[in-house]
Structure 1
Amino acid sequence: MLQTQDCNIILRHYGEIRRWDVLSKVFGWMQEHDMLNIASYSSYFKYLGLSRNAAKALQVYGSIQDQSTRVNVSVCNSLLGCLVKNGRSDSTFKLYDEMIRGGLSPDLFTYSTLLSGCMKLKHGYAKAMELINELNSRGLQMDSVIYGTLLAICASHNYCEEAEAYFKKLKDKGHNPNLFHYSSLLNAYSVNSYYEKAELLMKDLRSSGLTPNKVILTTLLKVYSKGGLFEKAKELLTELEASGFAQDEMAYCILIDALAKGGKIWEATMVFNEMKEKGVKSDGYAFSIMISALHRSGYREEAKNLAKEFEDQNATYDLVMLNTSLRAYCNTYDTESVMRMLKKMDELNISPDDITFNTLIRYFCKAKVYHLAYKTIVDMHTKGHQLNEELCSEVMVQLGEAGFPSEAFSVYNMMRYSKRTVCKSLHEKVLGILVPAGLLKDAYIVIKDNGESISPRSLEKFATQFMISGNINLINDVMKALNHSGWRISQETFGRAIQRYIQKPDKKQLLLCLLDWMTGQGYSVDSSSRNLVLKNAQLFGQKQLIAEILSKQQAASRITNKLID
């Protein structure tokens, strides 16, 4: 007796109470029994957005397309909202393009959703202007929601004058600004600390009959704090406390952070201690700000003690607080605490980010535990994180100096193949590690691929060492790589190679190939090497053959020298 509309009610129920596992089971059952309609998809996408599961939403949308099911603007809007909430900007605008190609006409909700996705885009303001032009060309009229989103975009991209213009236009079009509009414009003022404009805006807000809420007062606190008006900020914090708007740590964090960055570390400490005395709950943000501020000011022991205090009082961590505490322990060489934090990460199933990895790499290097620094770099690379070239280059050199040239070469290769262009000096640095260590085959690979980035002096050092003790079967390949780098190979280098070949009669064919190649490149052997070859001509069967090759060499060399002159 169940109808699709009944199932939709059940679906929405589990979405509203945030039972994401049951939500997906209900949707799956509806899908299995062919009891889905447009409203089902629209609701499901909405709740997938709230549960931060954009991947599932895209998967379901893909199944709709495979079934050639016709969707409407409402379904697309719900999916757009899901993608925006999850920061999937590429997928968001790709879906929008599909809507247009599919003949769907976007409505104001579509544009409002797309505009909200512009807030965190690098060129979000320019993209927002494109959308506004499209909106106008379709004959749609901007409403107060669109204006509010535009104000927020201007604030997030530091377009203060444009925000003021949109706020004025909002009023001119007959819309009454609400608290969100005032808050967004205040936010724009906070970026550049326009406190005088902020105070005038507050007067306008009150005269319009609105009462400032927690968001408005907290944003004004940000304006005062960033502007260095700490006394006004403290007075406003007192007002927030009296209004019951300072029961969480955010307001305190704004003032503490501004005081610390303004060089007033002890005033920041006083506000932090007051916050703790008043029993304000901290999720770690205030602790993180204070620990970082103490470290920047050189109070490393105090920073470590504060990290330990938070650890003793809290069983759970987020990644930001964990990184902050880890850095505090690393800076005081508290190895036991560092290892304890790493164990806590595993227990809490927290995945390390770039900051975590780089903090550990620096710490292990300073502690001269190079094998752990190397393992951390390997782990970082394996998990797809972008390696910090400056840091890894430093580690590579330290590994070489510590007697780990193979690991140093491995770090070099990880940087080289991490889909980025590395600094040219890196190739020479690794060459300076490999050649003294006798890893000449690896050094040859570096020169073969990047010889033009290496100095003649380093090339000559490598060539000398390779001709003496490198793999004899690779000598000719090495010569070609050296020549390709643009370095003019010295006669001493050729002389050493010839001596190696003479000592190994079974390599006579390689020597003949080398002499023939030299002729083609305009090289010739010196008199000493020439006499050595002729003296041992019997090794090659025909003395006449050797004489002809050497004669051709001299002729080719004279031509090359004339061209150079």
Structure 2
Amino acid sequence: MALSSPSFFCGLATLSNRNRRSHKFRCSTSVVTTNCCKQGEFQYVLTDYVSPNQFPASRTDRQSTILHIQDSSDLASALARHGDTLKVQDMNVILRYFGKLNRRPELRQVFEWMQQNQKINVASYSSYVKFMGKSLSCVDAVEMYRDIKDRSIKFNVSVCNAFLSSLIKNGKSESSLKLFTQMKRDGLVPDVFTYSTLLAGCAKVNGGYYKALELVQEMMSNGLEMDSVTYGSLLSVCASHKECNEAAKYFQKMKDEGHSPNVYHYSSLLNAYSADRNYEKAEALIEEMRSAGLVLNKVIYTTLLKVYVKGGLFEKSKELLKELEALGYAKDEMPFCLLMDGLAKSGHLLEAKSVFDEMMEKQVKTDGYSYSIMISAFCRRGLLEDAKKLASEFEEKYDKYDIVILNAMLSAYCRAGKMENVMSMMKKMDDSAISPDWNTFNILIRYFCKEKLYLLAYRTMEDMHSKGHQPEEGLCSSLIYHLGKTGAHSEAFSVYNMLRYSKRTISNALHENILHILIAGRLLKDAYVVVKDNAGFISQPAIKKFSVNFMRSGNVNLINDVMNAMHSSGHKIDQELFDLAIARYIAKPEKKELLLWLLKWMPVKGYAIDSSTRNLILKNSHLFGHQLIAESLSKHLVMSKR
């Protein structure tokens, strides 16, 4: 009798009822006959049968399976073979294991398997997003969040916090605020950590201080109270946006509410004082820290150094730098760079170079920032040979070039008008496989405009735009003007569109400026788009100039569209324009339908043709149909008598 036969399963059912248990069997062998089984061997035939309900994997077995998967050289196969025997929390253990080791390919592979096999929960998403860090792009993070189907997971505050934090760590604070708004609309109830996360992001966005205040107000309206973490984030925002007085106010408010400030809070307030160059308050704060028994760490000392440097207290800065060295806090270049940069920008170039030389003698670890500071300083003073010498020394010593150094050299050559050197630096960037940044493009475009190489400036701006960098409006406006003057009308319109679609608010005057350029270049279809989209920002004389030109030589198929757009924008169409339009239609009898549409449209909108135009139409009515023309003109006669 075969195991696959009905009678066999009936026998199993009888046995099952007798033992008052229900078993679900799974077998890797499709057919086994009892004839091949001797007494006592049947138990071995069924060794691959599993009853999950009766024999769940023990904790020890699951732990063994977890270790097996973690150590497997073929992760996909291990998951396929053993993943089903594990619980969601077991899979989360594996997920965190790969996350802590920064093994992101395996981390992603495990997470995707969990998604496909529906072994996933709140902790899975939170852990995955946290461990992926900057490897999870903004687009991927937002898409992943939106793809979550389970609402209990999607609007869980821990999951939402993880996604918001990921965006902020990737420098996408604006995107995090937009996603937060969507999350709240869909059902998220934010907690204190949510607001702390978003507040931290406000330190890095334009207008971030006011956004932070809105978040604090919203948080308190929701019945949540500020804690030491949210106060720390708020202090950091104040420091970043140079709100020194506000930082001091919130610091005191935090203490009044019973929160003990830690080193992070003091560091943020010190940063605010550095922006304000208030060394007296900074020193008082240091004394307060000492009185509170807090240990001054490297961050605190370095921030105090920044206060002294920005305040122009260079002797105090030098003394503090020596103290930092004695404490072992000046093993990298940052403290030296703070002092060098301050000295150089204050005109003390020789002293700055002395600090640089001292740093080199002591073999302080450098990433090239110190070289960038000195090269930039030499370039600003026009000491190009000194700058070149230092740049060559850096290249020889570290076998690389730095974008900051290259930009500094490029800027110096551009200011000096040395075209050969400019091209040489650009070639060096290509040879070194260094991608130009926003500053590089900005330097080059300004230089090419200065040299009246406007088409080269335009091509550079095209490249800049294709790389995802947004040009400044002032630079765009200048280039648009010069391109228009030199007859490069379509290129000027292209620059206008780069600015227009950059999601920035552009000045109203720019719309009218580009309109005049397009009219001059007879790019009337493009001019029509500008007028239609921005009529409210363009003067009536400019619109009249455009409309007259369009009626005379624009695309005849768009004449009625232009008329309608002008009327809709509030522009009163005069008789001259109607005369020009009708004359165009009469010259093209095949456009009969367009003429009839215009004649029908005019009375509806309160317009009527004058007698001379009526006579012109009647004279040519045989081209369009006497009856149709007569009906259309009768309505105009009624309108003219009103």
Is TM-score (shorter-chain normalized) higher than 0.5?
Answer: yes
- Determine the structure 2 residue equivalent to 1:189: 273
For the 8 Å contact 1:49–1:81, the answer to whether it is kept is no
Separation in structure 2 between the aligned mates of residue 551 and residue 526 of structure 1, nearest angstrom: 12
Query: What pairs with 1:149-164 in structure 2 (closer than 5 Å)?
Result: 152=236, 155-156=239-240, 158=243, 159-164=246-251
- Determine the structure 2 residue equivalent to 1:340: 427
- Determine the structure 1 residue equivalent to 2:212: 124
The verdict on how the C-alpha distance between 1:547 and 1:422 changes in structure 2, with shifts beyond 3 A counting, is: same
Separation in structure 1 between the aligned mates of residue 593 and residue 161 of structure 2, nearest angstrom: 73
Deviation at 1:165, TM superposition (A): 1.3
1:254 aligns with 2:341: no
Separation in structure 2 between the aligned mates of residue 458 and residue 367 of structure 1, nearest angstrom: 31
Aligned pair count reads 544
Deviation at 1:353, TM superposition (A): 5.2
For the 8 Å contact 1:304–1:328, the answer to whether it is kept is no
Q: Deviations over 1:172-207 (max 9, x none)?
A: 66x5x6544543443333232232232233334445
Q: Secondary structure at 1:403's aligned position in 2?
A: coil
Query: What pairs with 1:142-221 in structure 2 (closer than 5 Å)?
Result: 152=236, 155-156=239-240, 158=243, 159-165=246-252, 168-169=255-256, 179-206=263-290, 211-221=295-305
- Determine the structure 1 residue equivalent to 2:79: none
Separation in structure 2 between the aligned mates of residue 41 and residue 547 of structure 1, nearest angstrom: 74
1:401 aligns with 2:488: no
Q: Secondary structure at 2:308's aligned position in 1?
A: helix
Deviation at 1:310, TM superposition (A): 4.6
**Partner letter of residue 392 of structure 1?**
C
For the 8 Å contact 1:329–1:338, the answer to whether it is kept is no
More off after superposition, 358-367 vs 81-90: 81-90
Deviation at 1:547, TM superposition (A): 8.5
More off after superposition, 548-557 vs 40-49: 548-557
Deviation at 1:509, TM superposition (A): 6.2
Separation in structure 2 between the aligned mates of residue 533 and residue 38 of structure 1, nearest angstrom: 76
- Determine the structure 2 residue equivalent to 1:442: 526
The gaps in structure 1 that reach 5 residues or longer are 560-565
For the 8 Å contact 1:49–1:83, the answer to whether it is kept is no
Alignment partner of 1:425 out of 509, 521, 546: 509
Q: Secondary structure at 2:296's aligned position in 1?
A: coil
More off after superposition, 313-322 vs 220-229: 313-322
Query: What pairs with 1:4-403 in structure 2 (closer than 5 Å)?
Result: 6=67, 7=70, 15-24=99-108, 44-49=128-133, 66=150, 85-87=169-171, 94=180, 116=200, 119-120=203-204, 122=208, 123-124=211-212, 127-128=215-216, 131=219, 152=236, 155-156=239-240, 158=243, 159-165=246-252, 168-169=255-256, 179-206=263-290, 211-265=295-349, 267-292=351-376, 310-311=394-395, 313-316=397-400, 323-324=407-408, 326-331=410-415, 332=417, 333=419, 334-340=421-427, 342-343=429-430, 347=433, 350=435, 354-382=438-466, 385-403=469-487
The verdict on how the C-alpha distance between 1:342 and 1:524 changes in structure 2, with shifts beyond 3 A counting, is: farther
For the 8 Å contact 2:406–2:425, the answer to whether it is kept is no
**Partner letter of residue 530 of structure 2?**
V
For the 8 Å contact 1:48–1:57, the answer to whether it is kept is no
For the 8 Å contact 1:15–1:23, the answer to whether it is kept is yes
For the 8 Å contact 1:519–1:557, the answer to whether it is kept is no
The verdict on how the C-alpha distance between 1:295 and 1:557 changes in structure 2, with shifts beyond 3 A counting, is: farther
The verdict on how the C-alpha distance between 1:151 and 1:300 changes in structure 2, with shifts beyond 3 A counting, is: same
Separation in structure 2 between the aligned mates of residue 240 and residue 360 of structure 1, nearest angstrom: 40
- Determine the structure 1 residue equivalent to 2:37: none
- Determine the structure 2 residue equivalent to 1:563: none
The verdict on how the C-alpha distance between 1:165 and 1:545 changes in structure 2, with shifts beyond 3 A counting, is: closer
Deviation at 1:404, TM superposition (A): 2.6
Q: Deviations over 1:328-377 (max 9, x none)?
A: 454444442353255257x35x5x65444444443444444444443444
**Partner letter of residue 339 of structure 1?**
M
Deviation at 1:251, TM superposition (A): 1.1
Deviation at 1:76, TM superposition (A): 7.7
For the 8 Å contact 1:307–1:328, the answer to whether it is kept is no
The verdict on how the C-alpha distance between 1:155 and 1:458 changes in structure 2, with shifts beyond 3 A counting, is: closer
Deviation at 1:236, TM superposition (A): 1.3
Q: Deviations over 1:28-66 (max 9, x none)?
A: 678889998987776555433376667777788788864
For the 8 Å contact 1:241–1:247, the answer to whether it is kept is yes
**Partner letter of residue 165 of structure 1?**
Q
Separation in structure 2 between the aligned mates of residue 443 and residue 338 of structure 1, nearest angstrom: 40
Separation in structure 1 between the aligned mates of residue 625 and residue 470 of structure 2, nearest angstrom: 58
Alignment partner of 1:410 out of 494, 508, 514: 494
For the 8 Å contact 1:291–1:328, the answer to whether it is kept is no
More off after superposition, 252-261 vs 511-520: 511-520
Separation in structure 1 between the aligned mates of residue 106 and residue 359 of structure 2, nearest angstrom: 40
- Determine the structure 2 residue equivalent to 1:454: 538
Q: Secondary structure at 1:189's aligned position in 2?
A: helix
* TM-score w.r.t. length of structure 1: 0.73
Q: Deviations over 1:388-427 (max 9, x none)?
A: 3332233233333333322333333444444455433333
For the 8 Å contact 1:115–1:131, the answer to whether it is kept is no
More off after superposition, 518-527 vs 49-58: 49-58
Higher relative contact order (CA 8 A, sep 6+): 1
For the 8 Å contact 1:288–1:321, the answer to whether it is kept is yes
Separation in structure 2 between the aligned mates of residue 558 and residue 397 of structure 1, nearest angstrom: 48
Across the aligned residues of Structure 1 and Structure 2, the Cα RMSD in angstroms comes to 5.0
Identity %: 52
The verdict on how the C-alpha distance between 1:321 and 1:44 changes in structure 2, with shifts beyond 3 A counting, is: farther
**Partner letter of residue 336 of structure 2?**
Y
**Partner letter of residue 127 of structure 1?**
L
Deviation at 1:215, TM superposition (A): 1.8
Deviation at 1:249, TM superposition (A): 1.9
The verdict on how the C-alpha distance between 1:364 and 1:31 changes in structure 2, with shifts beyond 3 A counting, is: same
Separation in structure 1 between the aligned mates of residue 576 and residue 298 of structure 2, nearest angstrom: 80
Separation in structure 1 between the aligned mates of residue 362 and residue 640 of structure 2, nearest angstrom: 88
The verdict on how the C-alpha distance between 1:433 and 1:50 changes in structure 2, with shifts beyond 3 A counting, is: closer
Deviation at 1:232, TM superposition (A): 0.9
Separation in structure 2 between the aligned mates of residue 74 and residue 537 of structure 1, nearest angstrom: 76
Q: Secondary structure at 2:531's aligned position in 1?
A: helix
For the 8 Å contact 1:151–1:166, the answer to whether it is kept is no
**Partner letter of residue 479 of structure 2?**
V
The gaps in structure 2 that reach 5 residues or longer are 1-60, 71-91
For the 8 Å contact 2:575–2:610, the answer to whether it is kept is yes
Deviation at 1:240, TM superposition (A): 2.1
